[in-house]
Amino acid sequence: MPSRPAPPELCAAGARRVGEPLFATASRVDLWLVLEVPGPWADEVGDSLDPASVLGRVLTPVLKSVPRSRVLFIKSAARAQRETFSFYVAVTDEAESRLYHFPLLGYDALEGIDLFEVLAEEPRYDAYRDPRPLYLVCTHGTHDRCCAKFGFPIYNTLARLQPERVWQSSHVGGDRFAANVVCLPHGLYYGHVEPGDADAILQGTATGRLHPRRWRGRTCYLPPVQAAEYFLRDAEGETSVSAYRLWSQRRQGGVTEATFLSSAPERLHTVRVETTTLEGVRGFTCGTPEGKPVTGYRLLEHRIAAFAPESRNAGEIEYLLRPAAMRDYGFIYRLRRDSLQCYLDEIEMPASERGPFLARFDVTRHRLIILGDVPVGAVSVLEHEDALHLANLHLLPAYQRRGIGAVIVRQVQCQAEGDGRRVTTQVLKVNPARIFYERLGFRIEGEQGLRYRMVWEP
């Protein structure tokens, strides 16, 4: 009797067998919309977001407006006799993450939550803040067999220890690293988790520490920066989540340079890593056994310097530009809302469109304008081959008409002139900021819907 062929190797078992590194494999997510949905889930959660359904009407505008936002479905064996459905909103930031919990009598109650106002940290939602960490274990077997096979034992182990805080989750990314655990709101990813890791993950997260043995990375960083943070922590033996803050990052070719500010002592750690392809390793899932090349990272340099923040002086105005992060999202959103509200009234933009319009910005492409220790505005400049695009420039009302905006624009013009590039921007037609830019040498180049396209040329 012929023997049966051996079953194909599970992807998580294969990744362990070849020793594929865990670090720098966390998904890049800033905003998590986590909804309790009992029963079986579709292969892809997005298939459940029908535009005509309440889930589609409430969640889809946020997903389209806020970069790096994600929906997860969760369920719990401990909530078979539920009276409400849980809905969590987690904002992941390297320093000031936050979590909201909304108990819902039904999914229709989602329409009573203004998610853009939650992001803007409006006080009326403070009562829904949840100070306790949330632990999500991917058990999404319809997405990949490994998620169920390796995820359920870990879910059961963690749920016995903290039944109210541990949930089964839909796909979180990285099937071959199952069992996967995501800790919110900090966005800590762990992979190949085993029952013996349960106490270290639960206690570490509760006290603000990482479990290095199973750590995949933090979702607030891109993978090359996750790699840089891994090498930094490995060299310094540091497990405190709050020990470092990303100060700057830049990429040239396959090399990423990330500079982190350490809190005690206050120093700058510059880490250079090279993106490579791991030899002899194929990344595959149970559904795609052919696999694909796997990205890896190699440490090139780690140098340490004293921290001396560089301020800019133009005339009598001395200011500091600080990279913005998700903790600044609410400030920038309110800044845009307060700056643009009257113009949106003038063009009669419907209320249903204002939240998505105001939220349509990438916080990581902004810098806060700091005077003294006070954030007074935000600016976003996007680099293109032939131009610098001034995407946003907003100041608090008390700091307008004091020459700050003109100083910022002139700095951008100086940079562009040195590179032989133009400066472009867009202004709502009803916004008198057009006159401000014309005084600085800009001219109208064309129109695009409700906006003028303006350009400055050296």
Query: Is pLDDT at 253 greater than 80 in this prediction?
Result: yes
**How far does Cα 298 stand from its chain's mean position?**
24
What is the C-alpha to C-alpha distance for residues 285 and 176, in angstroms, rounded to an integer? 6
Query: Is pLDDT at 281 greater than 90 in this prediction?
Result: no
pTM, rounded to two decimals: 0.88
List, for residues 380-409, the tens digit of each pLDDT value.
999 998 999 999 999 998 888 888 999 999
Same fold, 11-220 and 312-456: no
List, for residues 198-243, the tens digit of each pLDDT value.
999 999 999 999 999 999 999 999 999 999 999 999 999 999 999 9
What is the C-alpha to C-alpha distance for residues 453 and 373, in angstroms, rounded to an integer? 34
- pLDDT given at position 5: 53
Residue found under tokens 């999404």 = 140
User: Average pLDDT in the 59-70 region?
Assistant: 92
Kind of pairing, strands 387-395 and 422-428? parallel
Query: Is pLDDT at 315 greater than 60 in this prediction?
Result: no
Domain 11-220: homologous superfamily in CATH = Glutaredoxin (3.40.30.10)
CB 352 within 8 A of CB 60: no
Query: Is pLDDT at 288 greater than 80 in this prediction?
Result: no
List, for residues 141-167, the tens digit of each pLDDT value.
888 888 999 999 999 999 999 999 999
Query: Is pLDDT at 11 greater than 80 in this prediction?
Result: yes
What is the C-alpha to C-alpha distance for residues 391 and 252, in angstroms, rounded to an integer? 23
Enumerate the domain spans of the chain.
11-220, 312-456
Q: Beta strands of 43-187 (E only): which ranges?
A: 69-75, 85-91, 98-104, 134-138, 166-169, 181-184
Query: Is pLDDT at 49 greater than 50 in this prediction?
Result: yes
List, for residues 335-394, the tens digit of each pLDDT value.
999 888 888 888 888 888 888 888 888 998 999 999 888 899 999 999 998 999 999 999
- Give backbone dihedrals phi and psi of 52, rounded to 5 degrees, phi first: -85, -15
Residue found under tokens 């064309």 = 446
- pLDDT given at position 320: 84
User: Average pLDDT in the 100-115 region?
Assistant: 94
Average pLDDT of every residue of the chain: 90
User: Average pLDDT in the 156-180 region?
Assistant: 93
Q: How confident is the model at residue 23 (pLDDT cuts 50, 70, 90)?
A: very high
**Element (DSSP H or E) covering residue 377:** strand 374-383
Q: How confident is the model at residue 4 (pLDDT cuts 50, 70, 90)?
A: low
Give the angle subtended at the CA of 231 by the CAs of 292 and 276, to the nearest 5°. 30
Residue 440's SS3 state is: coil
What is the C-alpha to C-alpha distance for residues 412 and 416, in angstroms, rounded to an integer? 6
Fold of 312-456: Aminopeptidase (3.40.630)
Strand order in the sheet with 288-306: 244-252, 255-263, 266-285, 288-306
